[in-house]
Structure 1
């Protein structure tokens, strides 16, 4: 059960910002003999992102690494805001919200490790995934029940949609018979 405080914070969110490794993926990196990097992404996380976008909530990816794989995933999900190679995620987030005309209290940021902490603390709704470093879990506003790369992002998407009374709207295309 979500606290009133978390529901109130979630009701103000206009932008969901996500880390990649450990949040959109399970955090493991796979390398083939030829050097090709592989990651796994959860399709339900992806669908949650699409539902958020259809409800008018923007989504951004902010990651310290730079890979074509993440660029491809962002394109597949029609995520317009992809900031790769950004070690200082709070600086990247502030640049993005300035560009979009948002305030930090209108952002939910989801992370799993130390580089995410400043953005988690500064955001209107700072979220740590269930498998995040223990220090992040104690400092975040909310901790998911599911782990990164295994439904945590979908959980946050659903939380935002419910808090904003947009869940039924996001489901409407699937319920029309």
Structure 2
């Protein structure tokens, strides 16, 4: 990953690497980050999402290396609960209309300060969190407003390995 030059105030590669080296927790939005952002609905109203196995393996690796992983999402879905449980993600905040409050709760509950938290989001509801954390990340298919405030943009799109890219980068700077 490289510094985001679309950002209102770009940062240097050294600053990006320093930020990544102190990260103890990666929090993720779901739609557009862990998924491609598309919602698949059946005629009976069932909802479907697709998740990338590279991201899943990356999450397992992160947890094994003591990089905590959590989810903050505006929607509520059994699919998200199931996928989080399957991957061993213990921090799951769904139905969050105020993601900044969810961030504050997670920071308080875990004792991890904002400076040691990375957050990946792709749209307007993510902006307050992207502006507060030590490392803010978005994806190429994210909204322009998220790109304007994020420290970096992944090469891979949401739902296509972006989370694995984030994890690999953070872990490489923590070693």
Larger relative contact order (CA 8 Å, sep ≥ 6) = 2
Same topology, TM > 0.5: yes
Does the alignment pair 1:145 with 2:155? yes
Q: For residue 109 of structure 1, what is the aligned residue in structure 2?
A: 119
Q: TM-score, normalised by structure 1?
A: 0.91
The whole-number CA distance in structure 1 between the counterparts of 2:49 and 2:72 is 16
5+ residue gaps in structure 1? 166-177
| Count, aligned residues | 165
How many Å apart are 1:138 and its aligned residue? 2.1
5+ residue gaps in structure 2? 3-12
Query: What are the superposed Cα offsets for residues 15-69 of structure 1, whole Å, 9 maximum, x if unpaired?
Result: 1000000000000000011111000000001111111101001000000111100
- The root-mean-square deviation of aligned C-alpha atoms, in Å, is 0.9
Q: For residue 99 of structure 2, what is the aligned residue in structure 1?
A: 89
After superposition, where does 1:71-86 map in structure 2 within 5 Å?
71-86=81-96
After superposition, where does 1:3-42 map in structure 2 within 5 Å?
3-42=13-52
The match for 1:135 among 117, 120, 145 is 145
Query: What are the superposed Cα offsets for residues 83-141 of structure 1, whole Å, 9 maximum, x if unpaired?
Result: 00111111101101101011000100000000001101100001111111112112111
The match for 1:122 among 128, 132, 154 is 132
Q: TM-score, normalised by structure 2?
A: 0.92
Q: Which structure 1 residue ranges, 4+ long, deviate > 6 Å from structure 2? A: none
